[in-house]
Structure 1
Amino acid sequence: MHLKTVKFFLKKAVFVTSLFSFLFVNTACEPPQETEISSAPQPSASASPVFVPEIGSPGGIRVVGNTALPNTFNPYLASESSSLAVIYRMFSGLTRLNAATRQIEPDLAESWQESPDHREYTFRLRPGLKWSDGMPLTAADVLFTYEQVINNPGIPNNYRDFWSYQGAFPQLEQLDSLTVRIRLKQPFAPALYNLAAPLVPRHIFQAAVKPDSQGQVVFNHMWGLTSKPTEIVVNGPWQLARYLPGQRVELRPNPHYYEHDAKGQPLPYLKQLVFLDVQDSNTALLKFREGETDTYDLRPEDYELLNPEQAQGKFTIHNLGASPSSLFVMLNQSTALKADGKPLVDPVKSAWFRNLKFRQALSHTLDKQGLIDSVYKGRAAVQTTHLNSHNPYFNPNIPDYGYDPGKARQLLKEAGFKWSDQGVLFDAQGHRVEFELSTNISSPQRDATCALLRREWQKLGIKVNYRPRLLNALINQIHQTLDWEVILMGFAGSSFEPHFSSSRWKRDGRMHLFNLGHPAHWKGQRPTQYEPWEAEMEKLYTEAAVLMAPEERKKLYWKAQELEREHLPFLYTVSELSLLAVRNHLGNIYPTIFGGSGLNQINWNSQYHFLKSE
């Protein structure tokens, strides 16, 4: 059998840039900067894909402002941005996504071979890899991570959902201490993306992945916020040095991290990377203007204030175009009954939320242009689908429902709703239409968006009880208690691979949030009910994942976006421009939309950041 071999050389003290076209930038090849901010996203959101790192000087501290600190340091329990922003810096997988070249490349793997039928991958680990505690990192850790953690039904994680579209979990075989063979049931286009999943240490977790006498999996309670830094064993460039609740997370270089620069200096260059808890956006702005933090993710209204200060403040504002994240309204359509027989959602309300004409009516009340003009100061774009405009599979032909309150009233009338003489909206059974709207407290834009939504819905005679929550409380309600009604929230999107959104379309997926309660997992008295379109959406994603030709995949993803538009599980609002302010004294900074969301667009190559000499 002939194999296609992909190999990247990163020797002990030699960085081979001619083979890597790697992750970083030198002074002769700075990314293009746009300091004139427009009211619409730019057509291209990445810098030049070819750049090499400048040789940096060891030492120095970077301080990043976060509006929330992590909920966990366990990479398989984290799902929210505050945890992932830190965890992404601490853990590596077999592969990684190069945000500059937009290509998958080896990470902990040195090379891989792919069979012609795309069903077998043989990975060779870099020799001499070690965990941060000095223990060897071997093929046994790869098998353990995939077989005992990712494919463990007792450990909820999105990575297993990604693989579930295969119909069978990959089969792994250890050929020797550095070589792993992975066999797939069928070709799988996102395979190399999925293999970026963080590896975790077998010697730490081996006894913690099976249920105990109480049926609890100890893994799910490890590496929480009370863990000692030395207990958290990592393989990425950074490791935990100190966590101060409500104050900061301090990371220090992992002394056993494998990367070195072209002069043989170990990476990271910085001696410390600090995530400062700034609580809210106003404080984040204040900390940046006072010089306490070195980067800032601008709100649209911040530009007028910060633009004149760039020269004196010695920073540059980068406009990367529309954010890859989505912001939407989601209605809880679950009909599941809890163990005590009580419904997750009031059946009267879930009946409204499951009514397509009700969702269409609410869609016609979204004054997106009004949002763009008033809340986002013209620095946002209308969003119509779960794939962002940078994604190569984005369907630009999806029409927006459009702001039309008259059409909203007509749809409600067609669905059997009616109004009292006082303009109060009732359903056909005489129940007043009333529900709770939630979002997270620390976002002024979301709070302002909710104010606009409440005003429009109240015009329709709907009583809206607004209850913003702390982010951690909101996450608990979404993933644990499941008793929310209507939420304004967002997903971090991928500008590369549509399959990263697949968990929200798998009916038993962890992120199928609008209709949770699958019979395979639900422990209550009755699981939820699914609509035929949900099965069709899952089928489209399943079929698209096994196609290797991009144009064939594109047809299915376009159809999936059309189906989503028709059935409206998410009522999309707008995508704001990604505006990032960066201190000029930071070296090897390469802002790009393809680095992720928010400050990940800067921090994606943090191991190469350094402080320039004044």
Structure 2
Amino acid sequence: MIDRIRRWFLLFLFSIFTVTSLSSCNPSRFKSKAAQVSQLVFVSPSDPDTFNPPISESLFSRIVFGLIYDGLINENGITAELEPGLAESWDISEDKRRITFTLRPGLKWSDGEPFTSDDIVFTYNEIYLNDKISTGVRDILRIGTSGGFPSVTKLDERRVEFTVPEPFSPFLRYAGGITILPKHILKDSINTTDGNGNLKFLSTWGTDTDPQQIIGNGPYKMVSYTPAQRIILQRNPYYWRQDSKGSPQPYIERIIVQIIENTDNQFIRFRSGELDSLDVAPEMFGLLKQEEKRGNYRIYNGGASSDTQFFGFNLNKAKNEKGEAFVDRIKSRWFNTLVFRQAVAYGINREAMKTNIFRGLGELQHSPVAMQSPYYLSPEEGLKVYTYDPQKARELLLDAGFKYNAQGKLLDWDNNQVRFTLLVKAEEKSRIDAAVQIQNDLNNLGIQADLQVINFNVIVQKLMSRDWEAYVGGFGGGGVEPHSSFNIWYSQGSLHQFNQGQMPGEPPIQGWEVSDWELEIDRLFEEGVKELDERKRQEIYGQFQQIVQEQVPFLYLVNPLSLQAVRDRINPIKFSALNGAFWNLYELQVKTN
């Protein structure tokens, strides 16, 4: 999300249930003595921003979307192999440019209406490929040097054909995984506008909508939403999946997404026995491990997380519609000086961060590509790294024309003190601790970073409006496919945060500049999706990683280990490093007392 939207942006695209932040509130609170039902409760650090999937930016909403929507195809949480979902089969043409999906017979939406190929064509052509709707999905679907998009054609009620203008390696995963929306509910909102000339779709399914009016095709449907407290979902009676005996799945009848901002409160709730599962932060691990047997839970270790955590500057040189610079011109000059960014990278002690904040339960991160990916370029293979070296950092700053005053404060070429605001979200203690260390490390270089700890939804708004200077943030892991992060690295992508361009529906911005290295990354991504030879793809994405490390738009920090505590009463857990403990929710059962 932007942040640890845990497997945030692309996991939503695949509509695969890969939520790793699970917990449960006191079950008795939601059960009568007469009817004990099976349930689990997920935890979210914030409220939703919308119930409209294509335009959502919050972690909470994306957790819910993984429950109320299914993909045409799904990804096995252990093997990452593609498996049938809403589509029972698919055929790929010899030239790799056409995919025909065949839907399962008798599919229905959660309101009982038929799910057909008309819904798929509507979703792609009228929503995701509609230039009046700002959605990151369109970035992911952009194809090669032509910048074109797939065409989607109905063949009959159960068959739909996707066609691409040129070879596109990740096409099957993307075409089969994106959330499909109900035409019979949303078609009118696409064809009408409000008083400001905006499509009504953009304000449809807001958080003020009755949750029971949100229609999905996944294992659960929404029942109620209480702001700042919880959302309750019940099993969708029209969901397609059945077990080998013909019994409907999922088996668990109710899901509750509890809104608990403070991780300490989540920790207390888990230790008291109220919660079924919890992401284990490094500072919690020691105590929770000691209590593992007594607490009737197991802590699963998936190795280094595939998420990315980073520190970065706002490199945007543009102005808003009033001619006001998004970033103060003096500060923008610092941020856009490559040697300044590299010096800061050498000045951050990430080893200390790993030891002190993450208790050694993590790995230094050097690349935007997950270490689990076959496309990852390691330091041993030549990837540039920034080993902590404050002396080198100071030398680079002095060589670039910066200087120190008698008090040891860093000044620029015009004697301006180097000082800026550093944003970090309030909901995650380890993120705040990392920001505090960065603040101290920068202070040792004579740089003053004023820490601003605020709610994540507020941070999202600041990022989208370009109202920020520096940020300690992160992105959820997109799996092993590098193109999953295209919307981050494409110069006109919706999550190109460090230099965000004009987005659909926004007031015009002036003077936006794209650097040569950003354009080179564009070219590499375009080349990478056309290339079908895996070895050549590895070389292409290796070049991309080298550019990122050289230019340092983000300084990557520490990947914590993927640790998750799950109560013994939930089975069968098939823990996955990429997808956590609950990717196979449909087959899980809860042993009730």
Does TM-score exceed 0.5, indicating one fold? Answer: yes
User: CA 1:219–1:452 in structure 2 vs 1: closer, same or farther (change >3 Å)?
Assistant: same
The CA deviation string for residues 451-505 of structure 1, in whole angstroms up to 9 with x for no partner, is 11111111222121111110111111112x2111000000001232111111111
- Map of 2:84 onto structure 1: 106
Question: Following the alignment from structure 2 to structure 1, what is the Cα–Cα distance between the partners of residues 42 and 98?
Answer: 41
User: CA 1:269–1:402 in structure 2 vs 1: closer, same or farther (change >3 Å)?
Assistant: same
Deviation, structure 1 residue 66? 2.5
Question: Following the alignment from structure 1 to structure 2, what is the Cα–Cα distance between the partners of residues 329 and 289?
Answer: 32
TM-score using structure 2 length: 0.91
1:460 aligns with 2:445: yes
**Greater mean alpha carbon deviation, residues 353-362 or residues 460-469:** 460-469
- Map of 1:362 onto structure 2: 344
1:152 to 120, 123, 130: 130
**Greater mean alpha carbon deviation, residues 530-539 or residues 513-522:** 513-522
Q: Check conservation: 1:338, 1:344, Cα contact below 8 A.
A: yes
| Aligned amino acid, residue 469 of structure 1 | I
**Greater mean alpha carbon deviation, residues 580-589 or residues 97-106:** 97-106
2:548 to 538, 558, 564: 564
Deviation, structure 1 residue 165? 3.2
Q: Check conservation: 1:59, 1:269, Cα contact below 8 A.
A: no
Question: Following the alignment from structure 1 to structure 2, what is the Cα–Cα distance between the partners of residues 602 and 66?
Answer: 16
| Aligned amino acid, residue 252 of structure 2 | L
| Aligned amino acid, residue 172 of structure 1 | V
1:327 aligns with 2:309: yes
TM-score using structure 1 length: 0.88
Question: Following the alignment from structure 2 to structure 1, what is the Cα–Cα distance between the partners of residues 82 and 480?
Answer: 10
The CA deviation string for residues 133-154 of structure 1, in whole angstroms up to 9 with x for no partner, is 1111100000001001110112
Deviation, structure 1 residue 229? 1.8
Question: Following the alignment from structure 2 to structure 1, what is the Cα–Cα distance between the partners of residues 132 and 312?
Answer: 27
1:541 to 525, 541, 545: 525
1:316 aligns with 2:298: yes
Deviation, structure 1 residue 518? 4.0
Question: Following the alignment from structure 1 to structure 2, what is the Cα–Cα distance between the partners of residues 153 and 587?
Answer: 44
Deviation, structure 1 residue 517? 2.4
- Map of 1:433 onto structure 2: 418
- Map of 2:409 onto structure 1: 424
Q: How does 1:160-239 map to 2 (within 5 A)?
A: 160-166=138-144, 167-195=147-175, 196-210=177-191, 212=193, 214-239=196-221
SS at match of 2:185: helix
SS at match of 1:576: strand
Q: How does 1:279-294 map to 2 (within 5 A)?
A: 279-294=261-276
The CA deviation string for residues 208-229 of structure 1, in whole angstroms up to 9 with x for no partner, is 1246152212112122211112
Question: Following the alignment from structure 1 to structure 2, what is the Cα–Cα distance between the partners of residues 611 and 535?
Answer: 51
- Map of 1:413 onto structure 2: 398
- Map of 1:390 onto structure 2: 372
Deviation, structure 1 residue 520? 8.0
Q: Check conservation: 1:356, 1:567, Cα contact below 8 A.
A: yes
SS at match of 1:110: strand
Q: Check conservation: 2:131, 2:504, Cα contact below 8 A.
A: no
User: CA 1:224–1:311 in structure 2 vs 1: closer, same or farther (change >3 Å)?
Assistant: same
| Aligned amino acid, residue 372 of structure 2 | H
User: CA 1:602–1:527 in structure 2 vs 1: closer, same or farther (change >3 Å)?
Assistant: farther
SS at match of 2:366: coil
Deviation, structure 1 residue 191? 0.7
Gaps of 5+ in 1: 1-22, 25-57, 596-600
User: CA 1:337–1:558 in structure 2 vs 1: closer, same or farther (change >3 Å)?
Assistant: same
CA RMSD of aligned residues (A): 1.7
Q: Check conservation: 2:348, 2:442, Cα contact below 8 A.
A: no
Q: How does 1:53-92 map to 2 (within 5 A)?
A: 59-92=37-70
SS at match of 1:381: strand
Question: Following the alignment from structure 1 to structure 2, what is the Cα–Cα distance between the partners of residues 593 and 215?
Answer: 46
Aligned length: 553
Q: Check conservation: 1:518, 1:527, Cα contact below 8 A.
A: no
1:404 to 369, 389, 392: 389
Indicate the percent of aligned positions where both proteins have the same amino acid. 33
Gaps of 5+ in 2: 1-15, 18-35
Deviation, structure 1 residue 79? 3.0
The CA deviation string for residues 314-352 of structure 1, in whole angstroms up to 9 with x for no partner, is 100111100111110110011111111111111111111
SS at match of 2:282: coil
